[in-house]
Amino acid sequence: MVWPPNSDLLSCCQVEDLGNLIKIYTDWQSHLIPYYSFQQFVQKVQKVGASNRVRIGCSK
């Protein structure tokens, strides 16, 4: 599936919504692991999410 469907550009509202979502994630991360930068946090989440333990646990 291609995002956004049937469009080459995001609408103004979609861009604003994406910005709001990223803000929520950065706020959550700063409370969860304040000593990590957001980029470090994203890298750790990607690494953990790619592990077999997580993938197997999610498929059950």
Name which residue leads in pLDDT, 21 or 11.
21
Contacts of 57 (CB under 8 A, 6+ apart): none
Query: What's the average model confidence in pLDDT over 4-14?
Result: 70
Burial class of residue 42 (count of CB atoms within 10 Å of its CB; 0-12, 13-18, 19+): middle
Check residue 14 and give its pLDDT.
Answer: 86
Check residue 58 and give its pLDDT.
Answer: 75
Q: What is the pLDDT of residues 44-54, one digit of tens each?
A: 999 988 888 77
pTM (2 d.p.):
0.60
